[in-house]
Structure 1
Amino acid sequence: MMRLLVLLLALCILVSSAPNYQNKDCQTGFPPSPHRTVTYKKGTATKKGPPYLHRTVAYAKCDPGYTRQGYHTSECQFGEWERELGKCV
C-alpha cells in the first residue's frame, strides 16, 4: 500500500512539472528585417497579426535582387516558432 502511495505521489509530481501545452499559439511574429517580407498562413487564410494559431506557417520572401540565407518557412508549434527565418542579402 505504501509503495502505491509513493508511486502515485511521484506520478503527480511528474505531471505537474511537465510543460504546459495548453497555449499552443505563438504570441509574436518575426521581427522586421531589411529586404524581407514575412507572411503568415493557416490553411488558406492569411493572418495579419499575433497571436498566430498552432500550425500557422510563416513564409519569408526577399525583395527582387536579394538572396535569402537560411530557412524560408517556419511553423508555429506549441507556442514557439520551430526555427528562425533567413535573412535577405
Structure 2
Amino acid sequence: MLTILICSGCASTSAQLYQAAAEKGRAETKVMLPVLPAEFQTQVPHAPAVLGANPVIVLARERAQLDWANGVIRRFGDFYRHLQSGMKGN
C-alpha cells in the first residue's frame, strides 16, 4: 500500500514539474507564435466523381482541387518563412 502511495506521489510531482516548466517557458519567451491559419489544418478533398459523368469534367474538377491544395502548400511555406524571419529578428 505504501508503494502505491509513493508511486502516485511521484507521478503527481512529475506532472506539476512539467506544468511549472511550461508556464515558466511561456512567461520567459520572447517570441509568441501566432495561431496557425485554419486552412493549414484541413485537408483538401477530392472533387466528387459522379457515376456516368463526363471524365474530362471530372478530371478538370480534380485538377482544380489539386491547384487549390498546392496553393495551400505555397501559402504555408510563405507563412512559415515569414514566421522564421521574425524569430531571427530580420
TM-score, with length taken from structure 1? 0.30
Considering fraction of residues, name the structure with more strand: 1
Decide which structure has the larger Cα Rg and report it: 2
TM-score, with length taken from structure 2? 0.29
